[in-house]
Structure 1
Amino acid sequence: MTVPTVVTLGETMALARATEVGSFPHIGALQLGIGGAESNVAIALTRLGIPTRWIGRLGTDSLGDLVVRELVAEGIAVTAERDPDAQTGLMLKERRTAASTKVWYYRAGSAGSRLTVGDIDPGHIRSASLLHITGITPALSQNAREAVHAAVDLARDAGVTVSFDLNYRSALWSPERAATEFAELIPLCDIVFGGDDEFALVTGALTHPLEIAHAVSALGPRQVIVKLGIDGCVALVDGAEYERPAVPVQAIDTVGAGDAFVGAYLADFLSGASVDDRLATAVTAGAFACLVPGDWEGMPRRSELAMLGAREPVQR
């Protein structure tokens, strides 16, 4: 049996996060790592046994070296043009209180925003089982938007499944611009993920998650998954409705939980699991991602998925 391969593309940045609760003027140390929605999904997929390639653009700087090192260490195939004229983007993550996180982005003119159609090898897309995109990359620049659309066109022409997570970022574009782009991309995709608030940019005043899923599905996707955070998720797959509660945990850092959810759902989809099993794995992976600081470090391996339901806290 052919092992499924996922290709995703977008911006991965260096991430400096506070190691203690408080505002930046009053904390003593930062820890350096990486983060990015598409590469977070790639890590989630790889840890669950699905080979994945990440395509992006990085600066010829030490932060770009860090991104490559971390992704390769996770077993991801990295295709990254190194740009001598732009720096790798940077995120700063501040834990202002024990229950709240603020992320600051320094990405204007970054190497990642300079992603182009020429950075994409058509062979990588055509030979994949699935292409995953997000709404972040087309918001970065016109050339990055063109790269996303070129990848989607290649995938559709080759019969490759296309997955899309809206991932709306208000700092990157207005709701109106995002809505226009989402309305253009959604009909081109087979699987679409988003929060109910993100889908509202396209569906308008609908409030019930399953009504939202039906409205999005009417645009073309056969699978629509509405992420509801602590309330779990709902899904509409081939016309059938599904609901799944969240796995209750004491969250430390919720950033990256949505990416873990998406990666886990796609991993089970590509492995042939039922929709119920896909959603169960997705909410479990999302819960795992909340248990440690960092965007992706807590994402589970398949052998760990049962741990959150284990009665014995010590494994020997």
Structure 2
Amino acid sequence: MDVVTIGETMVLFTPESSPLMRYAHSYSRKFGGAETNVAIGLTRLGHQSGWISKVGNDEFGKAMVSFIRGEGVDVSQVTTDETAPTGLYFKEVKSGDNVRVQYYRKGSAASTLQPTDLNEEYIAHAKYLHITGITPALSDSCYETILEAINIAKGNGVKVIFDPNLRRKLWSEEKARRVLLEIAALADIILPGVDEGNFMFGESDPEKLGQLFLDHGASLVILKVGAKGAYYFTTENSQLVPGYPVESVIDPVGAGDGFAAGVISGLLDGLEIEEAVARGNAVGALATQIQGDFEGLPNREEIEQFTSESGSEDISR
């Protein structure tokens, strides 16, 4: 297994008859979750990914597991909770820069994840463990599960990749800051945005943030700076890798997960850090061009075409 990820995926409803839920009478049903967005992005790029989670014993949960399995993600570590439901959320897309989400996930099946749900051998055989700051926000048991997963990974030489993925609606600012900093200190690679770095450290200068994350424990920091691209920082080097321009953003949700999938794919392929970040930039840009959390995630041929049209070096190889 190349990458194992842990977290909740929900059933996603998007209004079709009106962008506002208050006026909508018909909805499209899809699925969305940061961790499976990354897992699906990786399988489309030719890598093996596995997802650890729980779903409810309901039709939504059955449909979700079937769909994600169909995308090539290993779901052998997804279990069914007999008493808690599969989580839901609704997304209103007024425009590319005006998106609003509403969660119905409290008490969901995934929020009941606990350390005993983890299979040590499964994590130990991965090259990377990918986690986000969303899962520990769901419940105390989810927080404990993430810490145990990190402990298993470190004990077996598996590198930990952490995307803070701040969700302010899920917990208090004080608790979020404390936990995100705690997990960042345990991660090998961290993928924050400038806003998340500012939330965690009270600093918004990219160069200073990169050094703060390195000093905090990470060996590689890749800092997203929006359309401008992303910086990478190591103890030896730092550089801004320019982003790829797009004419318009159709749906920004999932772009950060696409970026993560692209970066991890590049690292798995043994690319130089700059090239891996460039692949992340390309995947993130393409993810914004189609409505849906993961529908716009590309395969290698699509990355090659996109970068070629952008006049950039091919980073799909």
* Fold in common (TM above 0.5): yes
1:225 to 2:219 alignment: no
CA distance in 2: counterparts of 1:141 and 1:151, whole angstroms: 15
CA distance in 2: counterparts of 1:34 and 1:90, whole angstroms: 9
How far off is 1:270 after superposition?
1.3
Q: Kindly report which structure 2 residues correspond to 1:143-162, keeping only aligned pairs within 5 A, or say none.
A: 143-162=141-160
CA distance in 1: counterparts of 2:3 and 2:217, whole angstroms: 21
What letter is aligned with 1:6?
Answer: V
Q: Which residue is 1:7 aligned to?
A: 4
SS at match of 2:22: helix
SS at match of 2:271: coil
Q: Which residue is 1:302 aligned to?
A: 300
Q: Which residue is 2:209 aligned to?
A: 212
Q: 1:217 to 1:311 in 2, by over 3 A?
A: closer
Q: Kindly report which structure 2 residues correspond to 1:42-191, keeping only aligned pairs within 5 A, or say none.
A: 42-78=39-75, 79-97=77-95, 99-191=97-189
What letter is aligned with 2:302?
Answer: E
What letter is aligned with 2:66?
Answer: R
What letter is aligned with 2:270?
Answer: G
What letter is aligned with 1:227?
Answer: K
Q: Kindly report which structure 2 residues correspond to 1:266-285, keeping only aligned pairs within 5 A, or say none.
A: 266-285=264-283
How far off is 1:231 after superposition?
2.2
CA distance in 1: counterparts of 2:19 and 2:295, whole angstroms: 22
Q: Which runs of 5+ in 2 are unaligned?
A: 311-317
1:145-168 superposed Cα distances (whole Å, 9 cap, x missing partner)? 111000000000111100000011
Q: Is the 8 A contact 2:95 2:251 kept in 1?
A: no
How far off is 1:228 after superposition?
1.6
Q: 1:229 to 1:286 in 2, by over 3 A?
A: same
Q: Is the 8 A contact 2:52 2:78 kept in 1?
A: yes
What letter is aligned with 2:27?
Answer: L
1:231-269 superposed Cα distances (whole Å, 9 cap, x missing partner)? 211110343102122211121000000000001101110
How far off is 1:99 after superposition?
3.7
Q: Is the 8 A contact 1:20 1:95 kept in 2?
A: no
What letter is aligned with 2:301?
Answer: S
Q: 1:98 to 1:38 in 2, by over 3 A?
A: closer
Aligned length: 308
Percent identity of equivalent pairs: 37
TM-score scaled by length of structure 1: 0.94
Q: Which residue is 2:22 aligned to?
A: 25
26-35 or 64-73: which moved more? Answer: 26-35
SS at match of 1:194: coil
